[in-house]
A and B are shown apart, each in its own frame.
Chain A
């Protein structure tokens, strides 16, 4: 694709994406729908958050490798959750979990 075609593609997709983002916030019938189905949207939100976690831990692109890296990611999450249960401090658990996974990967020759 040429630069001009890319410019058109990016602007077209950006315009469509903006409409998807803005329509529910700006259009009254959709705002009312959001208010009416708040429980449904809460479940959807929690499932999206959980999906982000499992997707990030298990998938590489659209593959499911289940290799050493996957187990190290799980180790990082489990360390963070364990520490958070003991000391409920999110930044501490976050950096400890990620840091431990990185150290473990380095230790095992990553």
Chain B
């Protein structure tokens, strides 16, 4: 096991509690929607995308048809397209054969943690680092789903509250440490201010629209 893979595992460990908490929620939502435990686990194994899973379970409960459920599941995940687009700059020398397999594990955390690592002047194999992060986040997602299905709503509220804090605190620390220059600070401020209201107006889309908007506005101002 390479040092960079170990480094990725270590960094990925920091966001594991949040992943477990989120996917416990997925397990519970699937139980409420009436999915069998096997299909629930299969949804995490194959999709690995909690917001889309939540949206699909919610729609099925409301009685929407199959094609609508699939469409929403895919559309909510449109953000992965932009994330992978960013990763093309980081994985430019990685073979396509390896990317075919590892593309499945692109998530907000694996992509952002690799993105932040790429901005540091350290000699790190970023693909190994990404694989390490992915190993932890994917394992945490599976563990969380199993716990959610097994214990349902029986998780102590205090534990659930604490677990959900790791991701926002960790990303706050990364942003404070790694944001450089007024344009990047502007992108962060736009993301902080506009994501919540847009998420309320367009659940599942707010973050994506805000981020694209931030990029377009800043590029326009620069020109």
Q: Is the CB of A10 within 8 A of B207?
A: no
Q: Is the CB of B89 within 8 A of A26?
A: no
Q: Is the CB of A10 within 8 A of B172?
A: no
- Of the residues A34, A50, A51, contact of B89 by C-beta under 8 Å: A34
Interface string of A47-70 (1 = CB under 8 A from B): 111111111111101111000010
Q: A43-B219, A46-B179 are in contact. Are A9 and B66 (CB under 8 A)?
A: yes
Q: Which residues of A contact B216 (CB under 8 A)?
A: 40
Q: Which residues of B contact A12 (CB under 8 A)?
A: 70, 73-74
Q: Interface size (A, Cβ < 8 Å)?
A: 74
Q: How far is the CB of B186 from chain A (nearest CB, A)?
A: 8
Q: Is the CB of B169 within 8 A of A55?
A: no
Q: Is the CB of A44 within 8 A of B82?
A: yes
Q: Is the CB of A94 within 8 A of B169?
A: yes
Residues of A within 8 A of B (CB): 1, 3, 5-14, 16-18, 20-26, 30-31, 33-35, 38-59, 61-64, 69, 72-73, 76-77, 80-81, 84, 88, 90-91, 93-94, 97-99, 101-102, 105-106, 110
Q: Is the CB of B170 within 8 A of A26?
A: no
Q: Which residues of B contact A23 (CB under 8 A)?
A: 81, 84
Q: A1-B60, A23-B84 are in contact. Are A47 and B210 (CB under 8 A)?
A: yes
Q: A31-B88, A42-B184, A48-B191 are in contact. Are A3 and B39 (CB under 8 A)?
A: yes
Q: Is B214 an interface residue (CB 8 A)?
A: yes
Q: A21-B104, A23-B84 are in contact. Are A50 and B200 (CB under 8 A)?
A: no
From B39, B85, B166, B190, residue with most partner A Cβ within 10 Å: B85
